[in-house]
Structure 1
C-alpha cells in the first residue's frame, strides 16, 4: 500500500477512535436518568474509558515497536469493536463502565502508534503539518461523537450509539490489516520495564509527560461537564448539546487545515502562547457570562485553540525518544489520559459541592500559566536542537 493510502487508512482509524473518545459526553444526562444516578456519578463512563485508554498505552507502545505499529492497531481495533457491542448490551452503569474500560483499553492503540509511525517516516520539520492533517481525522470523529451520542440517543436510544461505533471499529481493523502486510517490527534490546525506566531518566521525556498531564487535567476536567452545564443552565436538549459539543471537533478540524500556515507565520512557541490566552478567555467567559447563543462559537474557538496547544505537544513528543518511539509516545499518551481521568473525577467532586464556576476558573488560570511555561521550554529546546 502506498504512503498516501496508508495515511488515509490511519486517518480513518483516527476518525473512529476520535468518535469513540467523545461519544459518551452528551450521554451523561440520559445515563444519569436511566440508571438513577447523578451526572457526576454517570461520568464514570468517561473516567473508565480515559483511564484504560491511557493506562494501556504503556502496553501498546512496546508491542507496536516489536510487532509492527499498523498490525498492532489492527488487532486492537477488532477487540475494541467487540467491546463496543458489549456496551450496547449493558444492564447497569457498572457494567457499562467495565465495557467502556475495555473499549478504551483496546482503542487506545490508535493514536500513539499512528504518531510513532509518522515519526518514523517523516522528518521533524515536516512532522507537525503531517500530524496536524492526521488529527483532522481524529477531530472529525470528535465532531461525529457528540452528534452520535446526542442525536441518536434522542431518536432511537443510547445503546445504538455503541452498535454503530462497534461496526466502525471492525471496518477500520480490516483496512489496517490490509495496510500492515509486509510490516516488520524491531526486537527490543531490553524488557518493557527497563525501556520505560530508561525513558524516565531523560529530562525531555519527563518534561513532556508533565506538560501533557497538566494540560489534560485542566482542559478535560472542565470540558467533560460543559454538556451537563448547558443542560442545567440553558435547558438544552441532548441533540442541541451534541451539536454544540461538536463545535470543538469543528474547531480542531479547521486547525488541521491551517496548521502549516500557523507554524510558518507564528512558530511553535508563539502558537502555544496564543492558544493559552484564548483558552483562558473562553473558560473565563463560561464562568462569568455564558449566553446560550454564544455556546456554539465558543466551543468552535475552544477546539481550535486547544488543537494549537496540544498538537504542538504531540509534535515534540514524537521526537523525545527516537530510539523507542512507540514506547515514548505511549508514555506521553498515558500521561495525557491519566491526567484526563483524574481531572474529570476531581472536577465532578468540585461541581457537586461548589458548582461549575470554580472548575472553569481553575481551567482558565491553569491553562494560560501552562502555555507560558511550555512556550519558554520550546524556545530553550529549539536552541539546543538547532
Structure 2
C-alpha cells in the first residue's frame, strides 16, 4: 500500500516538475497545465464520495487492485497524449484511483494492524508520500531534460505493474463491510467538529497546493535556477519530507491539536520566506527545505485526526476527507493558476500563504476539532 501511495503521489504531482515542457509541447499556458492537476482532483472528489458505497459489494483486496490497474492505464494514456484534452482525460482516470485509494486507506489499515499500532502504520503509509515527494519532482525534472516528459511517465509504468503484482501476492482477502450509503458520507458534516475539520483541511491543502503546483515557474523566473539546480532544489524539498513525516509521527501523541493549527501557520511563514528570499539560490534552498518538511507533516496529522475524530465511521470519514483534500487541491491549483496568468507568480505564493493563515485560524486552539463531550488529552491541556 505504501508503494501504491508513492506511485499515486508521483503520478498526480509529476506535472509540477514538468509544467513548462508539458505546456509548451501541448500548446497550453503554464496556468492551464497546472490545472491538469485540478481535473484529477475533480474526479477524485466524486470517487471518494461514492467508493465506500460501491466497494461495500466487493472484497477490499480486489477493489484496491482495480484502482491500481486504473492508475496504470492512466500513466500509459498520459505518456501517449497527443493533445491537452487527452491529457485531461488521462488525469481524470488517475483521479478515480486517487479518490478511491485514499478514501479506503485509513479504514483498510485499521483492519490490517492492531489499534495500538495504527499511528505508526499510518506513518509508514505516508512515508510513501515522502518518498514520492523526494524522488518524483527532482528525478522528473532531471530526466525530463534527457528523455522528455513522456519518457518520465513511461518510467512509472513498469513500477505500477510491479505494484499490482505485489498487491496480488501480499494483500489478504478482506470481506466487504456493510455498505456505506453515499449520503452517510455527507451526513458527517452535521457533526460540528467534522465540519470545522473539513474546512481546515480544505484551507490547508488549498493553500499548500496553490504554491506547490507553481514552484517550477517561480524557481525558473525568480530564482533563475538552471535545470541541475532546479532538480537539487526539488530534491531538498522532497528529502525534507522524510524528516517532516517522521517528526509528525513522533510528536502526534498528546500534540495533535497543536500540530493541526501550527503547521499551516508555519507553512505560510515558509512560503513568505521563499517569496522574500527566492531571488537568491541559497535562501531559496533553505526555504524550500523548510517548506517540504512542514508540508509533509500535515497529511500525517490529519489522517490520525480521522482515526480518532470519526472512529465510528472510518470509511465514510475517509471518503469525506479525501473529497475535501482533492477539492482543495483542485481549487488551490486553479486559484494559483489564475493568479499566475492574471498577475504574477508572486501573487500566487501570497494567495497560498493567505489560505494557510485562514486554515490556522479555523483550527484555533483545536477544541472545535474534538467530538462533542471529548476533552483534550493531558499533554494538550489548553489547546
C-alpha separation between the residues in 2 aligned to 1:199 and 1:216?
A: 20
Q: 2: distance between equivalents of 1:194 and 1:277? A: 33
Deviations 1:299-335 (A, max 9, x none): 2211211233332222112334334322221111111
Counterpart of 1:270 in structure 2 is 258
Counterpart position of 1:159: 150
What is the TM-score with the length of structure 2 in the denominator?
0.88
Specify whether residues 45 and 121 from structure 1 end up closer, same or farther in structure 2 by C-alpha distance, changes over 3 A only.
same
Shift of 1:273: 4.3
Cα distance in structure 2, aligned partners of 1:321 and 1:120? 15
Partner of 1:220: 209
Aligned counterpart in structure 1 of residue 282 of structure 2, from 290, 293, 299: 293
Where does the alignment leave 5 or more consecutive residues of structure 1 unmatched?
Answer: 1-9
Are the aligned partners of 2:185 and 2:319 in contact in 1 as well (CA < 8 Å)?
A: no
The count of residues paired between Structure 1 and Structure 2 equals 374
Q: Cα 1:325–1:68, aligned 2, differ >3 Å: closer, same or farther?
A: farther
Q: Secondary structure at the match of 2:366?
A: helix
- Following superposition, the deviation at residue 125 of structure 1 comes to 6.5
User: Could you list the per-position Cα deviations for residues 317-375 of structure 1 after superposition, in whole angstroms to 9, with x for gaps in the alignment?
Assistant: 23343343222211111111111111111221112222122332233243234224315
Structure 2: distance between partners of 1:301 and 1:383: 35
User: 1:121-270, aligned counterparts within 5 Å?
Assistant: 121=112, 126-188=117-179, 192-264=181-253, 267-270=255-258
> Aligned equivalents of 1:175 and 1:17: distance in 2?
15
* 2:79 aligned to which of 52, 72, 88: 88
Q: Does 1:322 align with 2:322?
A: no
Match of 1:72 in 2: 63
TM-score, normalised via structure 1 length: 0.88
- Work out whether residues 124 and 319 of structure 1, in 8 Å CA contact, stay in contact via their aligned partners in 2: no
- The Cα of 1:225 is off from its aligned counterpart by 0.8
What does residue 19 of structure 2 align with?
28
Per-residue Cα deviation, 1:128-157 (whole angstroms, up to 9, x for no partner):
333223211121012222134212211111
Deviation at residue 380 of structure 1 after TM alignment:
6.3
* Matched residue SS, 2:187: helix
Q: Please state how far the C-alpha of 1:381 moved relative to its aligned partner.
A: 1.7
Q: Does 1:62 align with 2:50?
A: no
Q: Which runs of 5+ in 2 are unaligned?
A: 376-383
* Residues 273/380 of structure 1: CA separation in 2 closer, same or farther (3 Å cut): closer
CA distance in 2, matches of 1:308, 1:83: 28
Q: Hey, what's the Cα distance between the residues in 2 that align with 1:205 and 1:371?
A: 16
The answer to whether the Cα contact below 8 Å between 1:69 and 1:114 also exists between their aligned partners in 2 is no
- Distance in 2, Cα, partners of 1:323 & 1:380: 16
Task: Indicate the RMSD between aligned Cα atoms, in angstroms.
Answer: 2.5
Change (3 A) 1:263 1:328: closer
Q: Which residue of 99, 112, 127 corresponds with 2:103?
A: 112
Deviation at 1:292, TM superposition (A): 1.7
Stretches of 4+ aligned residues off by more than 6 angstroms: none
2:333 pairs with 1:333: no
Query: Residues 56 and 226 from structure 1, CA distance in 2 versus in 1: closer, same or farther, beyond 3 angstroms?
Result: same
Q: 2:299: which partner in 1?
A: 310
Structure 2 Cα separation of the partners of residues 124 and 186 of structure 1: 18
Give the structure 2 partner of residue 7 of structure 1: none
Separation (CA, whole Å) in 1 of partners of 2:144 and 2:369: 48
1:122, CA displacement in angstroms? 5.2
Comparing 282-291 and 235-244, the one that deviates more: 235-244
- Check 1:367–1:136 CA distance in 2 against 1; reply closer, same or farther (3 A cut): same
Distance in 1 separating the partners of 2:371 and 2:188: 20
| Pair 1:149–1:369, CA change in 2 (3 A) | same
